[in-house]
Amino acid sequence: MYAVIPAGGTGSRLWPRSRRSAPKHMLPLSGSGKPLIEETYDRIAPVADGVYVLTEERQVPMICSLLPELDQDHLIAEPSARGTTNALALAAATLLAEDSEAVMVSVAADHVIRGESAYRRTVERAAAVAQSSRELVAVGLKPTYPATGFGYIEVGGEERFGRSRAHRVERFVEKPALETAERYVADGRHFWNIATFAFRCDVFLEELDELGPEHAQGVRKVVELRRRGEFEKAARLYGKLPVEVVDRTVMERTSRLLMVQASFDWVDVGSWSELADLLRADPDGNVTEGVPVLIDTHNSFISVPDKLVAVIGMDDLIVVDTDDALLVCPKSRAQDVKKVVEQLNERRLTGYL
């Protein structure tokens, strides 16, 4: 089983800390002091025959500096960001060229996991099911609250594959409204989609031949051009491939999808409010970094590492300071931080990105 860690994007809802020069997965956000990608590598390496990092070429130097133990041959670099369909196809085709029986597990670089032994057992079980069933396998997590920011996996009956069991997936569900999410939590047939997948590389590419042939054919050609040393031509071809997420291209449409249930704690640190919920708070519910003076302030996230900050009479507040930018917003608007990034792009203020 080969582990592939997709490490792209910037984490726009964690601006101004997450930037192009320091994307979310390269930040120490879990409280351990380690960057998230290093935690991911350390967590998956003991159960993988090899660990690969899938990233954009511009991030390669940063990845190498954070993971000096990573074999340079285990860096799969996209010439440009072209969506998760092309990225996972590139990883699958690259592994398949080295091992015709390759089983790949894709694990996100920017998630926080509690319960590493349970996590490893789940990943091993997903890989075993993918191998024996010749189907695609998603890892689903039983929801603990009616989240509206996650996708869901609806499952049917359970089946046995070798020594392991897995549910047949009925459908992938987009981020639901609150009332629908409450129903999902109650019915026991819906699980959070945590973007962790296992599959034989040849099976994934077979499905992509059927469901996204332009991606499959293009990526195979890219891998062949790279093998021949024609890297510029490969980059031009890759840059012309359509941008699509793998959930829509494959997972929502395939009839060959199973789900293995996870048994660990998981957090996708997608916003400052979610990070605040993850870290230890003081008796007033405040999570702080730096030297804060808080008066009648509660349930707030204050990250101002290099100066004193005073906050008076505020509740549910987010304050994040960096050398060149300051973010202030209510916790309830944490998801809207990505709109700041969109405006900076529109106004061409790229120095702040």
Q: So what's the pLDDT on residue 149? A: 82
Q: Which of 56-65, 101-110, 270-279 has the lowest mean pLDDT?
A: 270-279
pLDDT tens-digit series, residues 119-163? 999 999 999 999 999 999 999 999 988 988 889 999 998 999 988
Residue 9, pLDDT above cutoff 80: no
Q: So what's the pLDDT on residue 90? A: 97
Q: Give the mean pLDDT of the chain.
A: 93
Whose structure tokens read 């093998």? 227
Residue 331, pLDDT above cutoff 80: yes
Name the pLDDT band for 215 (thresholds 50, 70, 90): very high
Name the pLDDT band for 210 (thresholds 50, 70, 90): very high
> From the CB of residue 69, how many other CB atoms can be counted at a distance below 10 Å?
9
Residues facing residue 293 across a β-bridge: 310
Read off the pLDDT of each residue in 33-60 and give the average, rounded to a whole number.
94
pLDDT tens-digit series, residues 251-265? 999 999 999 999 898
Which percentage of the chain shows pLDDT scores above 90?
Answer: 81
Task: Decide if 84 contacts 61 (C-beta within 8 A).
Answer: no
Residue 178, pLDDT above cutoff 80: yes
The torsion angles phi and psi of 260, rounded to 5 degrees, stand at -105, 130
Q: Tell me how far apart the alpha carbons of residues 165 and 280 are, in angstroms, rounded to a whole number.
A: 36
Residue 11, pLDDT above cutoff 80: no
Q: Tell me how far apart the alpha carbons of residues 186 and 162 are, in angstroms, rounded to a whole number.
A: 31
Q: Report how far Cα 200 is from the mean position of its chain's Cα atoms.
A: 20
Q: Please, what is the Cα angle at 69 between 68 and 73, to 5 degrees?
A: 95
Q: Tell me how far apart the alpha carbons of residues 20 and 8 are, in angstroms, rounded to a whole number.
A: 10
DSSP-assigned states of every residue in 157-210: EEEEETTEEEEEEEEEEPPPPHHHHHHHHHHS-EEEEEEEEEEEHHHHHHHHHH
Read off the pLDDT of each residue in 70-84 and give the average, rounded to a whole number.
93
Residue 220, pLDDT above cutoff 90: yes
> From the CB of residue 195, how many other CB atoms can be counted at a distance below 10 Å?
21
Read off the pLDDT of each residue in 210-218 and give the average, rounded to a whole number.
96
Instruction: Give the C-alpha distances (Å, rounded to integers) separating 314 from 56, 276, 317.
Output: 41, 16, 7
Q: So what's the pLDDT on residue 335? A: 86
Q: Report how far Cα 7 is from the mean position of its chain's Cα atoms.
A: 8
Q: What is the CA radius of gyration of the chain?
A: 21
Q: So what's the pLDDT on residue 330? A: 95
Q: Is the peptide bond before 16 cis (omega within 30 degrees of 0)?
A: yes
Residues in the chain: 353
**Strand ranges in the chain using DSSP code E only, listed in sequence order:** 2-6, 50-56, 75-78, 103-106, 111-114, 136-141, 152-161, 164-173, 190-200, 257-261, 265-268, 287-295, 301-312, 317-321, 326-330
Read off the pLDDT of each residue in 230-254 and give the average, rounded to a whole number.
94
Instruction: Give the C-alpha distances (Å, rounded to integers) separating 177 from 148, 180, 253, 255.
Output: 6, 5, 22, 26
pTM of the predicted model, to two decimals?
Answer: 0.90
Q: Tell me how far apart the alpha carbons of residues 251 and 245 are, in angstroms, rounded to a whole number.
A: 10
pLDDT tens-digit series, residues 165-175? 999 999 988 88
Q: Which candidate, 39, 169, 167, 192, places its Cα nearest to that of 110?
A: 39
Q: Tell me how far apart the alpha carbons of residues 59 and 80 are, in angstroms, rounded to a whole number.
A: 10
Whose structure tokens read 């020594």? 163
Q: Which of 26-30, 53-57, 189-193, 299-303 has the lowest mean pLDDT?
A: 26-30
Which percentage of the chain shows pLDDT scores above 70?
Answer: 100
Q: So what's the pLDDT on residue 95? A: 97
Q: Which candidate, 330, 329, 265, places its Cα nearest to that of 111?
A: 265
Residue 65, pLDDT above cutoff 90: yes
Residue 10, pLDDT above cutoff 80: no
Q: Which of 39-53, 249-263, 264-278 has the lowest mean pLDDT?
A: 264-278
Q: Which of 23-37, 183-197, 243-257 has the lowest mean pLDDT?
A: 23-37
Q: Which candidate, 31, 1, 74, places its Cα nearest to that of 280?
A: 31
Residues facing residue 193 across a β-bridge: 140
Q: So what's the pLDDT on residue 137? A: 98
Instruction: Give the C-alpha distances (Å, rounded to integers) separating 14 from 23, 97, 320.
Output: 9, 37, 9
